[in-house]
Structure 1
Amino acid sequence: MPELPEVEVVRRGLQKWVQGRTVTGVEVVDPRSIRRHTHGTEDFRSQLTGARIGAVVRRGKFLWLPLLHDSGELQDSEAAGAGSDVALMAHLGMSGQLLMQDPDQPDEKHLKVRIAFEPRADAPDELRFVDQRIFGGLSVTSLVPTSDGLPGGLGDQAPLIAAEAAHIARDPLDPSFSVEAFMAALKRRRTGLKRALLDQSLISGIGNIYADEALWASKLHYARPTEKLRPAEVAELLQNVRAVMTASLEVGGTTFDSLYVNVNGASGYFERSLNVYGREGQPCYRCQDNGLLTLIRREPFMNRSSYLCPVCQRKR
């Protein structure tokens, strides 16, 4: 599954190419990809056609585009999505791609939805949703007020959030993320540390890859009890989570599957910089730098795997 950096790469691409543009046409090639839009294909088309994209917003791995139905020019406002009560919601699933293409480009093999914009000289004019495995999809959803009155997510200052994302916590790259609130919630949860990092009601956007990488960087075992963590350890862990995700963003995310691409169809390269995830039986880089030969271990965890160094990340 794509994690926060991969979705943020897509958000930034869409922000560049579609924010402020008006939808001129919609083609639903495969209705299965708008199954979450319960009012059907014609309603999906009518909600989008003529609407202007106010912003491109993300919280965790949730991505939405507020739809403005006025005829005025997009204002240089802090809240680009203000005035909208609906948004185009994008679920990437396991293989969903949002690609910006020119109309004369051949259709992709697994094209599901095509959204056309008014022509702009410096930008492609079509947004295509491509999905091989059909776990993702598009829908028009309601925007609801945020519970704390703060911006709903990264990309817009409006205190609104897509209804489907209202239940999840803020992510560590969100400017409104509260370290103090997270520390308090972590203490109360009384669970294993990695379980807490993957709990979207505590902190959103962290998946298996970046959890393992941040835990290795922090020298913390994935099963460490959350109530036993010192504030300094939590602060360092959050710092490493942000550092790992930021480094991934700089190279376009992590790609183990050719289906994970940005809006221009390019793959990410962060897998070449992973320190622990997927490196079972290979030397720990930190131990190696200290003159030790310690092999990375893979252990079963919640129907998946955890990768760790048995020396650097001892279970206390």
Structure 2
Amino acid sequence: MPELPEVEVVREGLDKWIRARTVQSVQVLDPRSVRRHIDGVDDFEQTLTGCTITSVVRRGKFLWMDLEGLETPTALVAHLGMSGQLLVEEPDAPDEKHLKVRLSLSQKSVFPRELRFVDQRIFGGMFLSPLVATADALPAGAGSIRATIPEAAAHIARDVMDPHRAPEDLYVSLRRRTTQLKRAILDQGIISGVGNIYADEALWQAGLSGLRNTATIRRPEVDRLNDALVDVMTRALAAGGTSFDSLYVNVNGASGYFARSLNAYGREGKACARCLENGRDSLIRRDPFMGRSSYSCPVCQPRPRKR
């Protein structure tokens, strides 16, 4: 599933191409892709038509577009799920095989005229959600100056890259829980935007085991983890995110390249780079985790002792 860097790359592209443009028509080609819009397909198409997109915002993995032109402040939420893509295209471009929703936009210079939601596995979707005040009265996320957030995303914590997030918040949230460290940083109610790939990378960089109990975590360790999360996300964002197949692309269909820089994730049986530098012989191991996999170094990410 796309994580913060992948979604931010999409947000930046959308902000460039579709902000300040009016939705002239909406075509839902697969009702399953707007199933989260409780009032149905017709209402989705009719309500969205005529609205102007004023900003494109992201918090964690959540992406939405603030709308103007409705009586109730509303956002168009786009949930990418496992395989969702938001692409900007010209109307005469061939339809993608898994095209689900088409938005025709007002003309602006030489910008493409369509926003297309493409989704092969149909875990994602689009829906309208009323805007509510943020709990801390601060801007909702990247791309926003407003203290409003879609009601559907109001439960999501501020993300790794959010300038309004205090690193102290992570320590406090972790110590309040009694769970495994990796499970905690994947919890979007604690810190948002982190998924399986970047969790493994940050834990490796911080030299911490994802099996650590959060109740035992010390402040210097959380500081180290926080710095690692920020660094990993920053580098991944600069590389355009991590792409392992053609599903993870930006609005122009280009893939990211951070997969070439991974130190832990997907490197089972390969030498740990840090141990190699320090003259130690250790191989990255893979363990089952919540129906997926976790990758770590058994030497420089020591597991907690069993009591």
TM-score range for the pair, normalised by the shorter chain length: over 0.9
* Structure 2 unpaired stretches of 5+: none
1:9 CA drift (Å)? 0.9
- Number of the residue aligned with 1:183: 171
- Structure 1 counterpart SS, 2:236: helix
In structure 2, C-alpha distance between the alignment counterparts of 1:27 and 1:228, rounded to whole Å: 52
Q: Compared with structure 1, are the counterparts of its residues 175 and 154 closer, same or farther at alpha carbon in structure 2 (3 Å cutoff)?
A: same
Taking structure 2 as the reference length, the TM-score comes to 0.96
Separation of aligned partners in 2, 1:195 and 1:113: 34
Identity %: 60
- 1:84/1:14 Cα in 2 relative to 1: closer, same or farther (>3 Å)? farther
Cα distance in 1, alignment partners of residues 189 and 115 from structure 2 = 31
How many positions carry a matched residue from both structures? 304
C-alpha displacement of 1:292: 2.4
Matched-pair contact (CA < 8 Å) for 1:68–1:84: no
Contact 2:64–2:75 (8 Å) recurs in 1: yes
Task: Identify the residue that residue 201 of structure 1 maps to in structure 2.
Answer: 189
1:91 to 54, 79, 92: 79
Partner Cα distance (1:172, 1:130) in 2: 27
Deviations 1:117-175 (CA, angstroms, capped at 9, x unpaired): 11122311110011111111111111111111111111101111111111121111111
> 1:21 matched to which residue of 2?
21
Output the CA distance in 1 between the equivalents of 2:238 and 2:128: 31
Letter in 2 for 1:263: V
**How many Å apart are 1:103 and its aligned residue?**
1.1
- Counterpart selection for 1:146 from 134, 139, 145: 134
Q: Would you say 1:306 and 2:306 are equivalent positions?
A: no
Is residue 170–residue 222 contact of structure 2 (8 Å, CA) maintained in 1? no
Residue by residue over 1:81-109, the C-alpha shift from the partner in whole angstroms, topping out at 9 and shown as x without a partner, is: xx971011101111111000011111111
For 2:145, the aligned partner's letter is: Q
Superposition pairs for residues 166-245 of structure 1, below 5 Å? 166-245=154-233
Q: Mean alpha-carbon deviation: is it higher for 268-277 or for 250-259? A: 250-259
The answer as to 2:20 corresponding to 1:32 is no
> Separation in 1 of the partners of 2:72 and 2:246?
35
Q: Is the 8 A contact 2:72 2:130 kept in 1?
A: no
Secondary structure of the structure 1 residue equivalent to 2:160: coil
1:279 is the counterpart of 2:267:
yes
Distance 2:124 2:294 in 1: 26
CA contact under 8 A between 2:85 and 2:249: conserved in structure 1?
Answer: yes
SS of equivalent residue, structure 2 residue 245: coil
Equivalent residues of 1:23, 1:115 under 8 A apart: yes
Comparing 298-307 with 210-219, which one deviates more in the overlay?
298-307
In 1, Cα distance between the equivalents of 2:290 and 2:251?
Answer: 32
Q: Equivalent residue of 1:55, what SS?
A: strand
